[in-house]
Amino acid sequence: MRLTAITAALSLTAGAALAEGVAPDDVSYSDYGEVTVSLSGQPGDATRGREIFANKSQGNCVSCHAVTELADVPFHGEVGPILDGVGSYRTAEELRGIVANAKMTFEGTVMPAFYKTSGFIRPGDGYTGKAAPDDLAPILSAQEIEDVVAFLMTLQDS
Amino acid sequence: MRHMALTAIAAVLAGTAAFAGGADDDTLILNDEIEMVTKTAAPDHLSDAMDEIISGWHFRSDETQQLQTDDFENQGMIFADYGAEAWDTVEGSEDKSCASCHGDAAESMVGVAATYPKWNDGAEEVRTLQMQVNDCRTTRMGAEPWKYDSGDAINMEAFVTSHSRGMPVNVAIDGPAEATWLDGKDIYYTRYGQLELACASCHEQNYGNYIRADHLSQGQINGFPTYRLKNAKLNGVHSRFKGCIRDTRAHTFSPGSPEFVALELYVKSRGNGLSVEGPSVRN
């Protein structure tokens, strides 16, 4: 009885780990900052990715990047480059690495790392100004990173 | 990058994005009398980082700028007037007001705010203007200290500061103040929070650029306290610092903390040479 319980628990954990894909601290970056495998183990959804890209409380990528395809979203920022056509000149592996932790591709960049949970100075609990909890979540989940990458791949040269 | 991005965006997004580019070329003249220095050569200690220092006034819309040109339109002056009332009010066990010792602020306080934060020999510490006022309240008046950046404290700061308007910011960064100044500099370049952004990431590397709907300035404090249209009250330097750090998804410091005192000295020194504008108007 006890044995069965343990085996069941074990296979559950294994299953959960698989579904969660790669944890933030375990992501492996190439020398150029690329990440080859899907972080969630699943393909991304470009429609969801578009929302995350524009949404202030999620990716908020638009606060720094302008994209012509998002003309319905007001106030595009100028801190980062315009991302029109980025899916044509970057591979999905490069884009996954850039969105997960852009510092691996562009040393010292101001672009935040969206799939990272350690190594911060005075991390906060979201935008409350209070200290972060011990189990700080990445800004975007593994699946959300995949969704954003899928959206970026739709930005092709016209 | 700054200018290229701008032209490109103007071409693609005309109509959707807010864009106006870097600092404008307007001139700030106060009450048709005092011409303010709102752009000038960067102080020596900044020469590696930038050539020109620019007041936050230049990054605001024409309408917001206009409000600061006339004391009758500048709502910050209403709060400075409350400070003027407090100046003459007797408080505490010693039966004294500020005026009992300092007389007419229009004479005794001229140029004072331009030199704060400043080293105090007796206390062996760098003091902000609010710390100095609280010291007078507690040790000389026998009155309660004001809470840091509270309404009373900011009103008095605005009143005292208003007597330095048009005079160049001139804080000392050498001698006994140097250690504190270096602490402040460290903080300025530290990339805090989950977004890993330093003051410099936004206000040194990206001033003139839009970040979403916000037009990034150099984050100068020559205009503090600032009357913000957004919250319709006067805002203190430390409260502004706190908001900016919080927005990097960081655990902030508190108003009045040693970290913010050091940061205030450092940031103020980045504006050495700009005119004191406080109380100014911002969005």
DSSP string, A23-71: -GGG----TTS---S-SSSS---HHHHHHHHH-TTTT-GGGT---GGGT
Residues in chain A whose beta carbon is closer than 8 A to a beta carbon of chain B? 56, 60, 62-64, 66, 68, 71, 73-79, 81-82, 84, 110, 112-113, 120-132, 136, 139
Contact check, Cβ <8 Å, A79/B191: no
Contacts of A112 (CB under 8 A, 6+ apart): A102, A139, B194, B195, B196, B197
Neighbours of B281 (CB within 10 A): 24
Give the pLDDT of residue B11.
33
B244 is a catalytic site residue: yes
A-chain CB neighbours of B250 within 8 Å are 121-124, 129
Query: How far does chain B reach from its first CA to its final CA, in angstroms?
Result: 26
Count, residues in chain B = 283
Q: Which of B17, B209, B248 sits opposite A79 (nearest CB)?
A: B209
Give the pLDDT of residue A22.
96
Whether the ω angle into residue A112 lies within 30 degrees of 0, i.e. cis, is no
Give the pLDDT of residue B22.
80
Binned at pLDDT 50, 70 and 90, residue A20 comes out as low
Strand, coil or helix: B67 = helix
Nearest C-alpha of chain B: how many angstroms from A56? Answer: 9
A-chain CB neighbours of B203 within 8 Å are none
List pLDDT tens digits, range A31-51: 999 999 999 999 999 999 999
Query: What's the token pair of residue A14?
Result: 């294994």
Contact check, Cβ <8 Å, B205/A110: yes
Contact check, Cβ <8 Å, A75/B246: no
Neighbours of A146 (CB within 10 A): 25
Exposure of B22 by Cβ count < 10 A (0-12 exposed, 13-18 middle, 19+ buried)?
A: middle
B-chain CB neighbours of A106 within 8 Å are none
Q: How many percent of chain A have pLDDT more than 90?
A: 83
Q: How many percent of chain B have pLDDT more than 90?
A: 92
List pLDDT tens digits, range A55-76: 988 889 999 999 999 999 999 9
Domains of chain A: 27-116+128-154 (1.10.760.10)
Give the pLDDT of residue B21.
63
Contact check, Cβ <8 Å, B210/A78: yes
Tell which of A62, A64, A67, A79 to mutate to test the B interface (max B CBs under 10 Å).
A79
Question: CA-to-CA distance for A124 and B68, rounded, in angstroms?
Answer: 35
B-chain CB neighbours of A77 within 8 Å are 209-212
Question: CA-to-CA distance for B131 and B137, rounded, in angstroms?
Answer: 10
Tell which of B251, B263, B283 to mutate to test the A interface (max A CBs under 10 Å).
B251
pLDDT at B107 over 50: yes
ipTM attached to this prediction: 0.88
Give the pLDDT of residue A19.
53
Question: CA-to-CA distance for B2 and A79, rounded, in angstroms?
Answer: 8
Question: CA-to-CA distance for B157 and B152, rounded, in angstroms?
Answer: 9
Q: Nearest-CA residue of chain B relative to A132? A: B251
Which of B98, B136, B202, B244 is flagged as catalytic? Answer: B244
Contact check, Cβ <8 Å, B252/A129: yes
A-chain CB neighbours of B247 within 8 Å are 127
Contact check, Cβ <8 Å, A74/B213: yes
Give the pLDDT of residue B17.
35
Mean pLDDT of B2-23: 42
Mean pLDDT of B239-243: 98
List pLDDT tens digits, range A87-114: 999 999 999 999 999 999 999 999 999 9
Strand, coil or helix: B164 = coil
* Cβ–Cβ under 8 Å, residues B271 and B222: yes
pLDDT at A128 over 70: yes
pLDDT at A6 over 50: no
* Cβ–Cβ under 8 Å, residues B52 and B39: yes
